[in-house]
Amino acid sequence: MKLKALENKKSCIFSEKPSCINELKELADSLADRDVLIKKDYKLVKTIIHDKLLNNAQKIKKIKSLIDGIK
């Protein structure tokens, strides 16, 4: 009985369904670009924080200007 139920069940064939491969590639590319930008900005903030020639007020001002430039 169980075998008949499995035989009658239609198998899923991917070629019957519309493809979203291009959309997935675009999404992956945009996420990768975003990750690169986030890492770049993080490194810049890190260099500002560790800059011994700047006092805290100057560091805050530089970080704020960086954030305003991103918006």
Going from N- to C-terminal start, the domains of the chain cover: 19-70
Whether this prediction's pTM lies above 0.85 is answered by: no
What residues have CB less than 8 Å from 59, skipping those under 6 apart?
48, 49, 51
How far, CA to CA in Å, does 16 sit from each of 13, 40, 51? Answer: 6, 42, 59
The per-residue pLDDT for 14 is: 54
Q: What is the pLDDT of residues 11-37, one digit of tens each?
A: 555 555 667 788 888 888 888 888 888
Mean pLDDT for all residues in the chain: 80
Show the DSSP H helices in 1-71 as ranges.
2-8, 21-49, 56-70
The per-residue pLDDT for 17 is: 61
DSSP 9: S
The per-residue pLDDT for 23 is: 84
